Each structure stands twice: as C-alpha cells, then as structure tokens.
A and B are shown apart, each in its own frame.
Chain A
Amino acid sequence: MILAITFSEDAIIGLVVAAIQFGTLLYLAALGETITEKAGVLNLGVEGMMAIGAVTGYIGGAASGSPWMGLLVGAICGAIISLVHALAAVGLGADQVVSGLALTILGLGLADFIGSDYTGDPRRAHFGEVDLPVLTDIPWVGETIFAATPVSYLAVALGVATWWVLSRTSLGLGIRAAGESASTADAAGHSVAAIRVGAIAAGGALAGMSGAYLTNTLLGTSWNEGVTAGRGWIAVALVIFGAWRPGRVALGAVLFGLTLALQTRLGFFDINVSGTLVSMTPYLMTVIVLVVISYRARNQPSPAPAGLGLAYRREER
C-alpha cells in the first residue's frame, strides 16, 4: 500500500516535470507565431520551421557538445527559413495560407534531407536541470516547478519581454498597428513591410529554438524523420487558444503540454483511456475555443488582429 502511494507520487512529479518541458517546447513556437500574427501575418509554416530548428539544432548541439549552441543554431536557421515566407507573402503579396503551407512542406523535406546522414547518430547535447539555491530544496515544488531546464526560464523571460514590447513600446504599437490596420500603420510612418518581415523572422527564430529544444533535451533519441510529429500545429492552435496574448498563451502551453505528457504516462495512473485519444484533445479544444470566441464575438470584438492574413500593398489600399 505504502509502496503504491510512493509510486504514484513519483508519477505525479514526473508528469508535472514533463508537462513543463512539453509546455516550454510549445510555448516557444506559439510565442513566435503570436508575434507574427500580431503583425498581421498568418504563418502556417511553424511545423516546417520547427523541423528545421530540430535538425540544425541537433547538429549544432552534437558537433559542439553544447546545447546552448544547438539552441542558437536552431534559432538562426529557423529565422533564415522563415524568410521564404516573408519573401513570398510580404515581398510578393502571395496568399499567406498557401505560402505558409508550402513552407511547412519545404521545412519538413529539407529537415529530412539534412538529417538523413544523422539518423542513429549517438551524439547528443542535453540541457540539465538548473540547481537553484533554496528553491530547489522546497519539497514538491522544488522537485517539479523548479526542476526545469534553463530553456523553460528563458521561455518565461521571452514571454515577459514579448508582452512588454507589444504593449508598452512604440515598436509594439507599430507591430499591432500593422496587424490591425496596415494602411493606418503606413500613414503613421511605420514601414509595414519591415515590421512584418521582422515579425516573421522572430517567429521563425522561436520556432527553430523550439525544435532545437525538442531534439537536444525532450527526446531521448537521436535525430529521426518526422520528429516534430504535429507539434507545430499545436503551436498554431495555442495562439488562438491564448487569444493572441503572451500570458494566456503560456497558460495554454502548460495545459496542452500536460496532455502531451499524459499520453505516455496513463499507465502510471491506472487510467484506462487510450493515449491516442488523449493526444487529440489539444486540437479539439482549439476548435471548441474558436467556436466559443466567435459565438461571443456577436457581442464583443474578436481578439484576433483585424488585418490577420491580409496582404498589404500600398498602391491598392
């Protein structure tokens, strides 16, 4: 009996730790997509950018032995590949949906192509837990919330920074103006194109970082094809789930992270539900939230940026 209780406590601690790790992964990518969408650009290329970050971050981490180097390489390569979407959707005015989906196909293809030489490579850089004085020693809380890797703290810091920039600075005002009404932003002297390209690149860097974190810490294996496994789409969903607000997106990330963590741990809790069914919940919850938002929007304005998905060309305004 005592043994069973001890075991389930361990299981709960393991679940919370994993939920925070998966939440971090989802949050980085979703935060990036939030910035991009705030500037009025829908980028459905998250899955592809994450895959690029995963493979280049893996190689960077394995070659240097430093997971930080992996994170940096993943972020840079994610930003570079996102410029394809910037060029097509902002530069050439192509449809954002088509361009973003093509970026996903390109990113997944390129990642598999680059990674084909590394499948089964045993080298692997890894982020360990941060040993915080006092905090780590708090019972329960220290073992769960303060047992996170440095990337989780980085993600929180980036979330706060994003919130601050978006809501408290003139740059943030420019970004939001570009997303709400591009012609107004233009008239106010902001360069809509520059803002949007920058926002896309920021989104790419964060998605790439998320991918690098996936291969450098979350997965216990080397590079594999299809390593992102639809998690980029969850990041797209999270932006809506969190109503385009960095704080709410973070809460959603932990919640969705919990469902990802739960999938493989149901057996520890004697829950007789298929993990595959649990894995559907983030997507279904997002659909439900979208419907609820729209239902309410009959009386109050939708939280989505008004100009989301619309190309802007000055001579056609």
Chain B
Amino acid sequence: MKRLVLARRETPTRGGQPLAFLAGLVFALLLGAILLSIAGDPVIDVYKRMFERSLGSKDVISATLNRATPLALAGLAVSIAATMGLWNIGAEGQIMFGATAATFVGRVFPDLPGPILIVAMLLGAVVGGALWAAGPGLARAELGVSEIITTLMLNEVAIRLVVYLQQGPWKDPEGFSFPQIEARPDQAGLGNIWERVHLGVLIAFAVIVVFAWFSSRSVWGYELRIAGSSPKTAAYAGISMRRKVLGVMLLSGGVAGFAGGIELSGTATRLNENLSNGFGFAGIIVAALALMRPSGVALVAVAFGAVQVGGLSIQSIGVSSAVASILQALILFGAIGAGVLSNYRIQMVDRKVVA
C-alpha cells in the first residue's frame, strides 16, 4: 500500500520566501475572485479599483505608505520578540497604550512648540508601549508565564481603557453628547514630506534600518540570536536569559508604542478606540510573512498597506471592505502552503517504510 508523505529537501529552495509570498498573493486573489463571484460582485472591477486606489497614482501611493507605517512598526515589534523565540501578540494593545501615553503628554504640555512637543509625545508613546509589555515580560522572565496569552489579554484591556477615557476622564467638553477625547494639540501633527506622505513614514523607515543594522552588527543583537536559537549555549556564554527576555519585551513593546505615537501625530487627530485598526494583529502576519526579517517586514507592510487602502476604496462600489481582511489572511495561508512545498517535496512511499 502506498501513501503520500512530505519529505524535507536536503537544501531549501533558494529565494523561497519571496516566491512563497507571491504564490500566497496569487492564491489569495484566486480564492478571493471565487468568493466575489459567488457573492455576485464584479471581480475584475473590484480588483482593478483596489489596485488603482492603492498604487495607481501619487496621491493614493502616499495613502498606502502612510497605512504601511504602523503595520511595519508592529511587524518589527513582533520580529524583535521573535529573535528570542518570544511571541508578542500584544502589539495592538501596546499601540493603543502608546498613543494614550502620547495623548497624556499632549494634555500636560499643550503649549510647547511643535517640534519639542512631537519628540516628547513620541518618547511618551515609546515608554507607554514598553510599560504595556513590561508585565508580560516580567512574568515571562521571572516565572515563565506564557507571553502569548498575557500580551493577548492586555490588548482587550488597552482598548477598553481608551473607551473608558473617552467616556469619562478625557471626554471632550465641547464634544456635545458624542463621547470623544479632545484633539491633540495642532502643532503636534507631523508635516507632509511628499504628497500626503507624513514625516512619520520616514522616521519609521529609519527606525527599521537602524534596527536591522544594529541587530546584525552589535554584540547585543548577536547575543539575542544565540539566546533565541539555543538557550543552553547562551547560558554557557554567561548571557542572562532573564534580563534578555525582559529587555526584548520592553523593546518590542516600545516599538509598537512608537507606532501608536506616529499614528496619533501622523494620520489621526485624536485618540479613539479605533486608532489601532487591527494593526497589531496584521503586524503578526506581516512579520511571519517576512520570516521575522526587518527588511522583509518593510516590504510586506507596504503590500498589506496597499491591500488595506484598496479594501477601503471598494466600499463606494458597494463591496464590503472586509475583502481586505480576507485577502490578507489568505496570502498568509497560501504562503504557508508554498513555503512548505519549497522546503519539502511530496513523495510516494510504501506504508511499511514509514511505519
């Protein structure tokens, strides 16, 4: 009797991941097309509009780049934690609390000059994000508590905290009956550098480049990778795992919080519960697709930014913007399948041989 098994290739296929991503994209577009046609939507029109409204002109490209920024920073946050084998599922909450901390700074110093206030608010955001990740980091470092669940739970807490501030303590007295938080100071907005692309996009890009360089060239980055791939070796080398775990979680949370600060000063005018529009969760998919590499994170984030901006544009032709979420998840599942195929080959073997 014969059966099919997956056999690992001696050497993985070269350039596998970019190809796997493209395969995932094709897979997602095909399945998406089937779904759209079942729903009776005009497939070609939908895809054409999604493309035109996300990559078709300077104006929409800048919207895509703005959208890609929090995705890239969230993806970077996830990949920083992953270098040590940790899962930061809490970028969503860290983005929200980072933006909350930045809003707090803006409320305390509403009259500072723009550049100083922006720096202060962004620093506040970094500290806020790091604080939100500190609990899970400490619990993991000291007691071995799974950071997956703790970071996940704190997402829901952070979102509800913002809702609470919006309803009560920080409610805009001029917002009439509609509960909203007062707008951040005007001078705390990041200016545009090209078309509608704001300065935060450049800053975020610089952060990613610096981190990529730092992690590959510094002793710290080297120790991280050792600690992540082989804790025993790290222990022999005298690397303190507890301090590394906590440090990495703080850094990861800080980067996610920074995304919240950039979002608040770049594209939003005030803090609300939708400020992080699933960026933290999408960031995990982005990081996974980029195999946790910072340079890959930036590229995948731009692609996802385009899908999201394109998704918003099809509402006006009567198609649900949920198509964007579906496509993003399908890209990941398609790429997983393609990635496995590039590292394995399907083999037919006798049942006896395996058993």
Could you tell me which A residues sit within 8 Å of B by CB distance? Answer: 42, 44, 84, 88, 92-95, 97-99, 101-106, 108-113, 116, 230, 233, 236-237, 240, 274, 276-277, 279-280, 283-284, 286-287, 290-291, 294-295, 297-298, 309, 314-315
Give which listed residue, B35, B144, B322, contacts A112 with CB less than 8 A. Answer: B322
* Most chain A CB neighbours (cut-off 10 Å) among B149, B154, B354: B149
**Nearest 8 Cβ contacts at the A-B interface:** A109-B325, A106-B329, A112-B322, A109-B326, A283-B153, A116-B320, A294-B143, A276-B164
Chain A residue nearest to B40 in the complex (CB): A117
- The contact of A113 among B150, B159, B323, by CB within 8 Å, is B323
The smallest C-beta distance from B112 to any residue of chain A, in angstroms, reads 31
Q: Judge whether B322 and A113 touch: CB under 8 Å.
A: yes
How far is A297 from B87 in the complex, measured between Cα atoms in Å? 21
Q: Bound state CA distance, A98 and B156, in angstroms?
A: 19
Partner of B146, one of A106, A237, A290, A298: A290
Q: Name the CB-closest residue of B to A117.
A: B39
Shortest beta-carbon distance from B173 to chain A in Å: 18
A48 and chain B: residue at smallest CB distance: B329
Main SS of chain B's interface residues?
A: helix
CB distance from B131 to the nearest CB of A (A): 15
In the complex, which of the residues B144, B152, B330, B332 contacts A236, with contact meaning CB atoms closer than 8 Å? B152
Closest Cβ of chain A: how far from B91's Cβ, in Å?
11
A236 close to B149 (CB less than 8 A): yes
> Is the pair A294, B148 in contact by a Cβ cutoff of 8 Å?
no
Determine the chain A residues whose CB is within 8 A of the CB of B163 once the complex forms: 276
Contacts A109-B325, A287-B153 known; list 8 others, CB within 8 Å. Answer: A88-B333, A88-B336, A99-B336, A109-B324, A112-B325, A277-B164, A287-B150, A294-B145
Contact B337 A274, beta carbon cutoff 8 Å: no
A108 and B325 contact, Cβ closer than 8 Å, known pairs A98-B285, A283-B153: yes
Between B143, B156, B278, B320, the greatest number of chain A beta carbons within 10 A of the residue's beta carbon is seen for B156
Instruction: Give A99's nearest chain B residue, CB to CB.
Output: B336
* Residue numbers in A under 8 Å from B159 (CB-CB): 230
Tell me which of A109, A116, A297, A309 has the highest count of chain B C-beta atoms within 10 A of its own C-beta.
A109
Q: Which of B134-184 contact A (CB under 8 A)?
A: 135, 139, 143-146, 148-150, 152-157, 159-161, 163-164, 167-168
Q: Which residues of A contact B139 (CB under 8 A)?
A: 287, 290-291, 294
Task: For chain B, residues 243 to 290, give those with C-beta under 8 angstroms from any C-beta of chain A.
Answer: 278, 281-282, 284-285, 288
Task: Tell yes or no: B340 within 8 A of A by CB.
Answer: yes
Chain B contacts of A111 at CB under 8 A? Answer: 322
Query: Is the beta-carbon distance between A105 and B87 smaller than 8 angstroms?
Result: no
Tally of contacts, chain A with chain B, CB under 8 A: 129
**B28 CB to nearest chain A CB (Å):** 10
10 inter-chain pairs at a CB distance below 8 angstroms, sorted by A residue, are A97-B87, A98-B284, A106-B325, A106-B326, A108-B322, A108-B325, A277-B160, A290-B146, A294-B145, A315-B7
B320 close to A112 (CB less than 8 A): yes
Q: Which residues of B contact A (CB under 8 A)?
A: 7-8, 35, 39, 87, 89, 135, 139, 143-146, 148-150, 152-157, 159-161, 163-164, 167-168, 278, 281-282, 284-285, 288, 320, 322-326, 328-330, 332-333, 336-337, 340, 354
B89–A92 CB distance below 8 A: no
| Alpha-carbon gap, A94 to B164, bound state (A) | 38
Q: How far is the CB of A61 from the nearest CB of chain B, in Å?
A: 21
A286:B323 contact, CB within 8 angstroms:
no
Contacts of B160 in A (CB 8 A): 276-277, 279-280
Q: Is there contact, CB below 8 Å, between B145 and A286?
A: no
Q: List residues of chain B with CB within 8 A of the CB of A93.
A: 340
Give the CA-CA distance A234 to B332 in the complex, in Å: 25
Question: Per a CB cutoff under 8 Å, which of A97, A102, A105, A113 touches B35?
Answer: A113
Residue in A97, A104, A291 whose CB lies within 8 Å of B143: A291
Query: Known: A101-B285, A109-B322, A280-B157. Contact between A92 and B149, CB under 8 A?
Result: no
Q: Is the interface of A mostly helix, strand, loop or mixed?
A: helix
Bound together, the chains give a CA A110 to CA B34 distance in angstroms of 13
Which residues of B sit under 8 angstroms from A291, Cβ to Cβ? 139, 143, 145
User: Would A233 and B153 count as touching, CB distance under 8 A?
Assistant: yes
Residues of B within 8 A of A116 (CB): 320, 322
A283-B154, A283-B157 known; A105 and B282 CB under 8 Å? yes
Residues of A within 8 A of B156 (CB): 230, 233, 280, 283
A237:B288 contact, CB within 8 angstroms: no
A274 touches B149 (CB 8 A): no
Which residue on B lies nearest to A279, using beta carbons? B160
Q: Does B322 lie within 8 Å of A287, measured CB to CB?
A: no
**Complex CA–CA separation, A116 to B35 (angstroms):** 14
Q: How far is the CB of A37 from the nearest CB of chain B, in Å?
A: 11
Which residues on A sit within 8 Å (CB–CB) of B149? 236-237, 240, 286-287, 290
Q: Which residue of B lies closest to A313 (CB)?
A: B6
Chain A residues contacting B354 (CB-CB under 8 Å) are 314
Q: Is the CB of B332 within 8 A of A97?
A: no
**B148 in contact with A97 (CB, 8 Å):** yes
Which of A88, A104, A291 has most B Cβ within 10 Å?
Answer: A291
Chain B residues near A105: list those with CB within 8 A: 278, 281-282, 285, 325, 328-329
Q: With A84-B333, A287-B150, A290-B149 in contact, do A295 and B167 touch (Cβ < 8 Å)?
A: no
B-side contacts of A92, CB under 8 Å? 336-337, 340
A105 to B329 Cα, complex, angstroms: 6
Complex contact A102–B285 (CB within 8 A): yes
Residues on B with C-beta less than 8 A from A279 are 160
Task: Tell me which residues across on chain A come within 8 A of B326, comparing CB atoms.
Answer: 106, 109-110, 113
- How many angstroms between the C-alpha atoms of A42 and B148 in the bound complex? 11
CA of A230 to CA of B160 in the docked complex: distance in angstroms? 11
Contacts of B148 in A (CB 8 A): 42, 97, 309
**A113 to nearest B CB, angstroms?**
4
Measured CA separation A112–B314 after assembly (Å):
14
Contact A102 B167 (CB under 8 A): no
Question: Quick check: B323 and A101 within 8 Å, CB to CB?
Answer: no
CB proximity of B311 to chain A, nearest CB, Å: 9
Whether the pair B323, A237 counts as a contact (CB closer than 8 A) is no
